[in-house]
Chains A and B, each alone.
Chain A
Amino acid sequence: MNGAQHILEAFHRHNIQTVFGYPGGCIMPLYDALVDDVRVEHVLCRHEQGCALAADGYARASGKLGVCIATSGPGATNLITGVANAHRDSIPMLVITGQVPSALIGTDAFQETDVLGMTLGIVKHSYLVESADELPGILDSAMQLAQSGRPGPVWIDIPKDVLLAEITTSPFTTPAPPQAECPDLASAIALLRASRKPLLYSGGGISLAHAEDSFREFAECSELPAVVTLKGIGNPGKYSAHNLGMLGMHGSRAANQAVDECDLLLVIGARLDDRATGRMDGFAPNARLVHIDADSAEINKLRRAELAVRGDLNAILGELTRALREAPLAINDWQKQCQNLRTTGGFQAADNEEPLAPITGPAFIRQLSRVAPDDTIIACDVGQHQMWVAQHYQFDHPRHHLTSGGLGTMGFGLPAAIGAQFADRQSTVLNVTGDGSFMMNAQELATIRRYNLPVKLIVMDNQCLGMVRQQQELFYNNRESQINLDDNPDFVAMARAFEIPALKIDRTDQVRRGIETILAYNGPMLLHVAIAREENVWPIVKPGGSNKEMINETRRCAADKKERVA
């Protein structure tokens, strides 16, 4: 068995059935081995960035390891944005690249790049395989490492001669994961009981720890008022009575105000990202912080915790639930106060009742949320539409909301939707994108067509880079610079060129029919939604500002809108 065949055997042993890749010179031995292996489904994307982002979407939707493959040189460098995206959001990913033969490394050989060196900062770990006998152990270690603790991408760079070499080493045996132990939570529980205004703050770490059910049980049992980060959306579920929604730069006034007023912040699986906290010296000024996370490096990184607990979130949440079930918290006044905040300071957007009126982003997303099935997975891109989805779509599970949180990668959504559809063939998968983001990985329409994936594409087209335009309007004296996209292609014709049916809507009375049409279609379909260029995301906190300084809808749009309270 050569190195390439050994990789496929490792995939099989680790129950990896789907990989995303693009062939080329130095990785050809692996593609040759794939010809004879029917156990691994290889998805051929049209750009290596698409491969990495599809593997990312697959991992987010399934909770399993995402795998992407490329050749050396440009194949590897094209992966980088997608791998960085996975790294910033702690997505479990295995990256395999071919490298020039060992003897040619360092000679500036054709398609040689120092992949190990240039990717050090965007991986959890990386390996350059220096001899064939190392390969089996590295493969098993890499797959285990990518998924353990705080997950992340692990990159294996493999010289072509290693892929071709016969390997005699016996396979590495993966040790069983250690039994999760629960740390002593007496101090945390005591702090909770002493608090009159405790607030639950959760992030993407809940899903990374596969602790969604434990978290929901804890949230329901404790009845703690709760806020979520962008990646925590869906954690408490859309029916949670105590969920105040997303906090932060585009968070709800209710969430930001609750953070401002609470006296104890129970942070679980979140890293206090600047987009969520705003300026740190104005963040939760009255609160003691209890920080629970799997990664000890996140503790005290940005704000000192009164108490830090590191460990397995499932075990910790289970123990907290048991403690609070025995003796519930007495926080009725605070709960009522937060209920009032929720009523007056939640995300609201008036449905436009004028049938011929232009479509607004928030109203469209609210309608989508009402019509789409409960199991719908939405892969967003980055920009205004991303925030409208976060604000106005009612998610019932965090794995239904795929969004590029840390890196903010335009072009994420379409390949991520492809990955999600491979992860879950039965669910409805939507890519909600903007006209800027859509054009960044539009080549992957060919992948959707090739595999006849029933992904639905919704392009919210305001003919500009809306989020940049918005910030130029608000913070740069309305000096628009390089945001105009009014020469966009005809998106309907473009989709049809890939044999994907498409339709365009631009009036309020077409919204429901348009959404129902694409959802009912048995196959991929694109909905081109023309929206107003001047629409902004409200509220907004100026970058670097405090969350207390939220800016509400004002200025020129104010007269056009009815009763939109942030």
Chain B
Amino acid sequence: MITDRSNVSPSYTITCRMNHEAAALERLCQVVRIRGFRIEKMAVETTNDFLDIALTVQGTRHVTMLQSQLEKLHTVAEVILTTPAMMPAATRSA
């Protein structure tokens, strides 16, 4: 697992827009936990059919990995990492 090499667990701020479906927040929180992060702060607003979630998470693993796992959730429309994080090598995609 690629981890951040600093001694303290850094915090990151993520904003996420999800479809407002059953278990949407559970899904999000479960991914955060399984991928090795702790939720420090969480705020949720409902906008039409969406949930807008602001998350502050803490963990030693690379946060872009969490970002890509959240983006895989079918009901997630957008994930924005607002705290700058070092990006791994660029991905060329179709």
Q: Point out residues on A near B: beta carbons under 8 Å.
A: 116-117, 120-121, 124-128, 130, 145, 180-184, 187, 280, 295-297, 299-312, 315
Q: Does B85 contact A (CB under 8 A)?
A: no
Q: Of the candidates B2, B22, B23, B30, which one forms a contact with A301 in the assembled complex, judged by CB atoms under 8 Å apart?
A: B2
Binds A, one of B8-16, B39-47, B49-57, B65-73: B65-73
Ranked nearest first, the 5 interchain pairs of A and B with the lowest CB-CB distance are A311-B94, A310-B93, A300-B88, A125-B74, A297-B68
Give min CB distance, B86 to chain A, whole Å. 11
Q: Of the candidates B30, B64, B88, which one forms a contact with A120 in the assembled complex, judged by CB atoms under 8 Å apart?
A: B30
Q: How many angstroms between the C-alpha atoms of A182 and B93 in the bound complex?
A: 8
Q: How many angstroms between the C-alpha atoms of A303 and B89 in the bound complex?
A: 11
Give min CB distance, A278 to chain B, whole Å. 14
Q: Which residues of A contact B27 (CB under 8 A)?
A: 120
- Complex contact B92–A128 (CB within 8 A): no
Q: Which residues of A contact B71 (CB under 8 A)?
A: 296-297
A296-B93 contact given A120-B23, A120-B26, A124-B74, CB 8 Å threshold: yes
Least CB separation from B29: chain A residue: A120
Q: How many angstroms between the C-alpha atoms of A122 and B90 in the bound complex?
A: 29
- Complex contact A307–B89 (CB within 8 A): yes
Give min CB distance, B61 to chain A, whole Å. 10
- Complex contact B68–A304 (CB within 8 A): no
Pick from A180, A297, A310 the residue with the most CB of B within 10 Å.
A297
A295-B72 contact given A120-B27, A300-B88, CB 8 Å threshold: yes
Q: Which residues of B contact A307 (CB under 8 A)?
A: 89, 92
Q: Of the candidates B2, B26, B68, B73, which one forms a contact with A296 in the assembled complex, judged by CB atoms under 8 Å apart?
A: B68
Q: Does B6 contact A (CB under 8 A)?
A: no
- Complex contact B94–A310 (CB within 8 A): yes
- Complex contact B94–A181 (CB within 8 A): yes
Count contacts on B: residues with CB < 8 A to the other chain.
26
Least CB separation from B69: chain A residue: A297
- Complex contact B91–A304 (CB within 8 A): no
5 further contact pairs, Cβ within 8 A, besides A120-B27, A304-B89: A125-B74, A184-B92, A305-B88, A309-B93, A310-B92
Q: Which residues of A contact B60 (CB under 8 A)?
A: none
A117-B26 contact given A145-B74, A297-B71, CB 8 Å threshold: yes
Give min CB distance, A291 to chain B, whole Å. 9
- Complex contact A125–B75 (CB within 8 A): yes
> With contacts defined as CB atoms under 8 Å apart, how many contacts are there between chain A and chain B in the complex?
80
Q: How many angstroms between the C-alpha atoms of A301 and B34 in the bound complex?
A: 14
Could you list some 27 contacts between A and B, CB below 8 A? A117-B23, A121-B34, A124-B74, A125-B75, A127-B22, A130-B22, A145-B74, A180-B94, A182-B94, A184-B92, A187-B92, A280-B1, A295-B72, A296-B68, A296-B93, A297-B71, A299-B68, A299-B91, A300-B2, A300-B64, A303-B2, A304-B89, A309-B93, A310-B93, A311-B93, A312-B94, A315-B94
- Complex contact A308–B94 (CB within 8 A): no
- Complex contact B68–A306 (CB within 8 A): no
Give min CB distance, A145 to chain B, whole Å. 6
- Complex contact A306–B30 (CB within 8 A): no
Q: How many angstroms between the C-alpha atoms of A299 and B67 in the bound complex?
A: 12
Q: How many angstroms between the C-alpha atoms of A393 and B66 in the bound complex?
A: 39
Q: Which residues of B contact A117 (CB under 8 A)?
A: 23, 26
Q: Which residues of A contact B2 (CB under 8 A)?
A: 300-304
Q: How many angstroms between the C-alpha atoms of A447 and B26 in the bound complex?
A: 38
Q: How many angstroms between the C-alpha atoms of A280 and B2 in the bound complex?
A: 10
- Complex contact A116–B23 (CB within 8 A): yes
Least CB separation from B94: chain A residue: A311
Q: Which residues of A contact B73 (CB under 8 A)?
A: 125
Q: How many angstroms between the C-alpha atoms of A295 and B23 in the bound complex?
A: 24
- Complex contact B92–A301 (CB within 8 A): no
- Complex contact B23–A308 (CB within 8 A): no
Q: Which residues of B contact A296 (CB under 8 A)?
A: 68, 71, 91, 93
Q: How many angstroms between the C-alpha atoms of A18 and B93 in the bound complex?
A: 36
Q: Which residues of B contact A116 (CB under 8 A)?
A: 22-23
Q: Of the candidates B22, B62, B64, B93, which one forms a contact with A128 in the assembled complex, judged by CB atoms under 8 Å apart?
A: B22
Q: Which residues of B contact A304 (CB under 8 A)?
A: 2, 88-89
Q: Which residues of A contact B23 (CB under 8 A)?
A: 116-117, 120, 126, 128
Q: How many angstroms between the C-alpha atoms of A300 and B87 in the bound complex?
A: 10
Give min CB distance, A540 to chain B, whole Å. 23
Give min CB distance, A20 to chain B, whole Å. 24
Give min CB distance, B76 to chain A, whole Å. 11
- Complex contact A183–B92 (CB within 8 A): yes
Least CB separation from A299: chain B residue: B91
Give min CB distance, B32 to chain A, whole Å. 12
A300-B89 contact given A117-B26, A126-B23, CB 8 Å threshold: yes
Q: How many angstroms between the C-alpha atoms of A127 and B93 in the bound complex?
A: 29
Q: Which residues of B contact A300 (CB under 8 A)?
A: 2, 62, 64-65, 88-89, 91
Pick from B62, B69, B88 the residue with the most CB of A within 10 Å.
B88
- Complex contact B92–A308 (CB within 8 A): yes
Q: Of the candidates A124, A126, A130, A310, which one forms a contact with B91 in the assembled complex, judged by CB atoms under 8 Å apart?
A: A310
Give min CB distance, B65 to chain A, whole Å. 6
Q: How many angstroms between the C-alpha atoms of A127 and B75 in the bound complex?
A: 11
Least CB separation from A188: chain B residue: B92
Q: How many angstroms between the C-alpha atoms of A143 and B2 in the bound complex?
A: 34
